[in-house]
Amino acid sequence: RFLFRPYKPVYFFPIFYHSKLNRLPTTDNPLTSVSEAQNLDHLEAKFQLSFKTKLVDGLVGRYGDLWLGYTQTSRWQIYNEKESRPFRETNHEPEFIFTLGTDYRLLGFDANLLSLSLNHQSNGQDEPLSRSWNRVILTVGLERPDWVVLLRPWWRIPETSDEEDENPNIVDYVGRAELLVVHRRSNSHQVSTRIRHSLKGGSDNRGSLDLNWSYPCFDRLRCHAQLFHGYGESLIDYNHETTVIGLGVNLIEWFE
C-alpha cells in the first residue's frame, strides 16, 4: 500500500505533429465555444506522466483492492516563439480503481483482472476552453505470454444540465469503449494498438486509432513512435478529427 507504481506509459515526444489544427475549439454549448482563432503551430511537444498506488488491500475477500491512479498528458507549443511557447492543453485524469483478481480462460487467454473505475478527466481551464467529464469504466484484462488485451467499456455520468455540459455528445466522438492490445516481441520491440469507438452507426460512427511502437535505444530509455487518427487526441479536441505523428522516448511501457 501507498507505494507509487507505474500505471500507463511515461513518455516525452519532442516531435508531435498535427495534420489539422483545432484553432477554433467549439461545441454545441455556446459557453464552451471560442470566437477568436488561436495562433498555433502544427509542430509541438507532448509528454505523459502516470502512476498508481494501492489504498486498501483486501477490500472484498483476498483479491479485492482499491487503487488511486493519476495520468497527466500535456501538449506544449514549445516551438511557438510568437506566443511565448505556451502549454496548449493539459489533461488531468485521476481515478479510483477497484480491482478484483479472476481466474478463468477465455479465447486462449488467462482472464486475470476485472476492475471498476470512477474516472474524472479535465483540462483545468476556464470557459470557453474548459472541458471535463466523469465516467464509470469497466475493465476486463486478458493475458498470455508477451500479450495483454484490455477491453474497457464505459458509461458517462450525466451532467445536471445542458448548460453545465462542457463537451456535449463527447461519447459520440471519443467513444463508449476501447480495446487495447499490447504485444512484446522477444527482441524487446513493443507494439500497442488502441481502438475507441462510439458503438453507433451512420453519422455517429466515430472513434480513433492509436498505434505505438517502442524499442530500447538509450540505456533505460526506449525510442517511441506514435500514430493517432480520429477524434479525442485531447479533451479540447474531443470533436475534432486529426492525424498526429509523435516521435520521442519513453521511460515506462505497458510491459516492464
Q: Is the entire prediction scored with pTM above 0.85?
A: yes
Please list the active-site residues: 120, 122
- Structure-block grid coordinates of residue 171: 461519447
Look at residue 185 in the predicted model and tell me its pLDDT.
83
Q: Which residue has the higher pLDDT, 42 or 100?
A: 42
Give the tens place of pLDDT for each residue, 184-237: 887 688 999 999 999 999 989 999 999 999 999 887 889 999 999 999 999 999
Gap between the Cα atoms of 34 and 14, Å rounded: 28
Adjacent-strand bridge partners of 48: 11, 73
The pLDDT assigned to 60 comes to 77
| Burial grade of 235 (CB within 10 A; 0-12, 13-18, 19 or more) | buried
CB atoms within 10 A of CB 201: 7
Phi, psi of 4 (to 5 degrees): -75, 130
Among the residue ranges 9-23, 33-47, 56-70, 189-203, the one predicted with the least confidence is 56-70
pLDDT in tens, 4-25: 899 999 999 999 999 999 999 9
- According to DSSP, residue 36 is labeled S
Question: Tell me: the pLDDT tens digits for 161-192?
Answer: 988 999 999 999 999 999 999 998 876 889 99
Among 251, 250, 249, 246, which Cα is nearest to 15's? 246
C-alpha distance across the termini of the chain, in Å: 20
Q: 47 has which bridge partners? A: 12, 74
User: Does the pLDDT of residue 153 top 90, yes or no?
Assistant: yes
Q: Does the pLDDT at position 104 exceed 70?
A: yes
| Residue 91 pLDDT greater than 80, yes or no | yes
pLDDT band at 256 (very low <50, low <70, confident <90, very high): low
CA–CA dist 231, 168 (Å, integer):
14
pLDDT in tens, 107-136: 888 988 899 999 999 999 999 999 999 999
- Averaged over 140-147, what is the pLDDT? 92
| Residues whose CB is less than 8 angstroms from the CB of residue 219 and which lie 6 or more positions away in sequence, other chains included | none
Higher pLDDT, 254 or 50: 50
